[in-house]
A and B are shown apart, each in its own frame.
Chain A
């Protein structure tokens, strides 16, 4: 009983503390970052953080947005929708942020999107690539500045049809919504362009041993193996493929953009050499903006930016462009300003499609060579974007 009063007092103290710090800093624009700082997605959240901080620093040094400084407020969403929504609500209600970003997995993005709707504010994701976020589960308050799975598949399929026409493809995906839908998306894109499916198998998420599937793969003798596993699963799959000698003999491994990332690349090392995927960003993109961005990013963080870092950097410029166009941070006016808004990013100019809040951008097929992703082909934005499937607005 004594403890309950202590908790209430503590709670009141926290609220007071927050208001006090608010008054101390003038009138900044607050950006809430609800991102999984702990857990398996922590490395992605790290890139997100780096990207946001670099952009915020640059924007603030140049005078801020409409004269107001940007302030980033972080909360750990733990990649769990239940926690992420709680933290999002804290950011909106207690910290009174004007805009929210940072969600990584699609379940969290969708759930937090609802919180944003209920709080009449906007949010953007820079990582989640599930098509549903700007497709059948779209929301008027949710924006996506990164490329979705459909765009990535389009880039990869376009490259494949050039490099290996009529390839025999074997699919190995993790058995859950995202895994199955990425496999399905690539399968239809590839088959349309003449590839032949020679096998399809789904392993449980978190599967430890992929060797039971290797017999089938061997029997099917594919030219290409497509996989959409991620994180730890990728490390295991690739090292076991290597163990069993399946990576010799010229089989090309391709996969989803989330399969090999800065998070697991260090662990996979040479086994991932030659891996090809479709992405919306590479540090190699040859534009002056990108070169400058990569240099500044590397200087600040001693690491190259990946797609998450680059897109998170871009989201603050997107927000800035919208606020400057609308002359306010009010959600409804911002939404109007964001319709078909174009803004500059290290990847070139992106356009935010009004119909589904999806960014249109050029896509690339990249190949992992010597530990770095090198661009091997490019698909223009309009070709990669796909149809607007959002019916809600």
Chain B
């Protein structure tokens, strides 16, 4: 019988390796982002900055999907609901109340938490496919409501969201400046990532991982499965909504399309291609997908066939995604280095 202590040490060891390799990917992402910013700024570019910012914003949405899917095993097909909710709330606050970033974010957070809680109570009772269908249906219903509400701009959405200045204590970020806003969003989304990564390593986060492995056993270990699932759902809702809140600041408008299934589905595709369960994978995936769409879009209007096929391919052959694929070699290298240091 294996020595209990050795088993625990081994688990902890692999966890450390995982954590370190994922942090490595996260840091690499930041570095690449900064490199990109430097090149683009030098060329005085605006379009690619905004495109990259969009990739980051939708990456945040994908991150929220991964929190549920990769960690808890709950597939949400309606995460666009919270993304769009955040976008609309932010747009309404900025346009009609006060063009203040902090106010918009605060209100978005409050509304998303409340909505997330309500949705969680409804949907987390169900599992697997049923959960997916409920989230799908919820998003459809809310999209329909928004589409038919004249005070929310109905089918045309809301335009005329003003350019704002984000008041950070040390300096200001002007959303009209493509470069500055890009860097801000990079920081913002990475902050969301690190928050989620941190929460995943807390005891509550581990319960989530346990739920994913075998949900039926967890209550016997004394953990409140229902509560933890609700918390995870609300967290994901908040992350999606906060990311969505950035959208009107970038584009100056919101429209019901932001709540449609295409957006939710796209986020799921991004998670799988980037790396389910890694949290940083979806961010890489988002950059890849947004870039691919833009490039392919110049050649053919049928980019969905390409991305769809890529996705099916990934599900069958590379379900661990981009980051998941490159993680083991990195982990091994880090482990080898640690062993060498110790020796």
* Chain A interface residues toward B at CB < 8 A: 1, 3-5, 7-8, 10-12, 14-15, 37-38, 42, 75-76, 78, 80-82, 85-87, 89-90, 93-94, 106-107, 110-111, 113-115, 118, 130, 132, 137, 175-178, 204-205
Asked if B121 is at the interface (CB within 8 A of a chain A CB), the reply is: no
Q: A76-B301, A80-B257 are in contact. Are A90 and B157 (CB under 8 A)?
A: no
For B293, the closest partner residue in chain A by CB is A83
Chain B residues near A177 (CB-CB < 8 A): 150, 154-156
Which A-chain residue is minimally distant from B154 (CB atoms)? A177
B251 adjacent to A82 (CB under 8 Å): yes
In the bound complex, residues from chain A placing their C-beta under 8 Å from that of B51 are 86
- Given the interface pairs A177-B150, A177-B154, the reply to whether A94 lies near B47 with Cβ below 8 Å is yes
Q: Which residues of A contact B302 (CB under 8 A)?
A: 38
Interface SS of chain B: helix
CB distance from A8 to the nearest CB of B (A): 6
**Contact A1/B32 with A93-B45, A175-B148 known, Cβ cut-off 8 Å:** yes
Number of A-B residue pairs having CB atoms within 8 Å of each other in the complex: 104
The CB with the most chain B CB atoms within 10 A, among A15, A81, A175, is that of A81
Nearest B residue to A106 via CB reads B156
Q: Are A82 and B258 in contact (CB under 8 A)?
A: yes
The answer to whether B155 and A107 have CB atoms under 8 Å apart is: yes
Residue A176 contacts which of B29, B47, B155, B255 (CB distance < 8 angstroms)?
A: B155
A-chain residues with CB within 8 Å of residue B199 when the two chains form the complex: none
| Cα-based distance from A4 to B34 in the complex (angstroms) | 12
Q: Please judge, given known A-B contacts A4-B284, A176-B148, whether A111 and B154 are in contact too, CB under 8 Å.
A: no
Q: A86-B51, A89-B50 are known contacts. Are A81 and B255 too (CB-CB below 8 A)?
A: yes
Contact A114 B159 (CB under 8 A): yes
Distance between Cα atoms of A205 and B326 in the complex (Å) = 45
Can you add 9 more A-B contacts, CB < 8 Å, to A15-B43, A113-B159?
A3-B322, A8-B36, A90-B294, A93-B46, A107-B156, A111-B159, A118-B176, A137-B159, A137-B160
Residue of A nearest to B28 (CB): A1
Chain A CB within 8 A of B35 CB: yes
Q: Is B103 an interface residue (CB 8 A)?
A: no
Q: Contact: B301 with A111, CB < 8 Å?
A: no
Q: Which residues of A contact B147 (CB under 8 A)?
A: 176, 205
In chain B, what residue has the closest Cβ to A8?
A: B36
Q: How far is the CA of A75 from the CA of B47 in the complex (A)?
A: 14
Q: Is B48 an interface residue (CB 8 A)?
A: yes
Interchain CB contact under 8 A, A12 and B39: yes
Query: B194 in the interface, Cβ–Cβ < 8 Å?
Result: no
Known: A82-B251, A93-B46, A111-B253. A178 touches B155 (CB 8 A): yes
Give, as a whole number of angstroms, the nearest-CB distance from B217 to chain A.
37
B54 to chain A: which residues have CB within 8 Å? 86
- In the bound complex, residues from chain A placing their C-beta under 8 Å from that of B43 are 15
Q: For the complex, is B252 an interface residue (Cβ under 8 Å from A)?
A: yes
Secondary structure type dominating chain A contacts = helix
In the assembly, what is the distance between CA of A204 and CA of B253, in Å?
A: 25
B257: nearest chain-A partner, CB-CB: A80
Q: Is B234 an interface residue (CB 8 A)?
A: no
Q: Which residues of B contact A106 (CB under 8 A)?
A: 155-156
| In the bound complex, CA of A126 to CA of B114 (Å) | 43
State whether the Cβ of B291 lies closer than 8 Å to any Cβ in chain A: yes
Q: Any chain A CB within 8 A of the CB of B287?
A: yes
**Contact pick for A11, options B32, B48, B257, B326, CB 8 Å:** B48
| Chain B positions within 8 Å of A204 at CB level | 144
Residues from chain A with Cβ under 8 Å of B25 in the complex: 1
Q: Answer whether residue B137 sits at the interface, using C-beta atoms and an 8 A cutoff.
A: no
Partner of A38, one of B29, B32, B155, B301: B301
A82, A89, A132 — most chain B CB neighbours (10 Å)? A82
Cα-based distance from A75 to B257 in the complex (angstroms): 19
Q: Is there a chain A Cβ closer than 8 Å to B297's Cβ?
A: yes
A8: chain B residues within 8 A (beta carbon):
32, 35-36, 39
A-B contact pairs, 5 of them (CB 8 A): A4-B32, A8-B32, A8-B35, A107-B156, A111-B251
> Is B314 among interface residues, defined by CB-CB distance under 8 A?
no
Determine if B132 is an interface residue (Cβ-Cβ < 8 Å): no
Shortest 9 CB-CB contacts between residues of A and residues of B:
A38-B301, A177-B154, A93-B47, A107-B156, A177-B155, A81-B255, A7-B291, A176-B155, A111-B253
Pick from B144, B287, B298: contact of A7, CB below 8 A: B287
Contact present for A110 and B28 (CB under 8 Å)? no
Determine the distance from Cα of A73 to Cα of B47 in the docked complex, in whole angstroms. 16
Contact of B291 with A82 in the complex, beta carbons under 8 Å:
no
Residues of A contacting B295 in the complex (Cβ-Cβ under 8 angstroms): 10, 14
Most chain A CB within 10 A, of B176, B257, B288, is at B257
The A-contacting residues of B in range 42-101, CB under 8 angstroms, are 43, 45-48, 50-51, 54
Out of A7, A89, A178, which one reaches B47, CB within 8 Å? Answer: A89
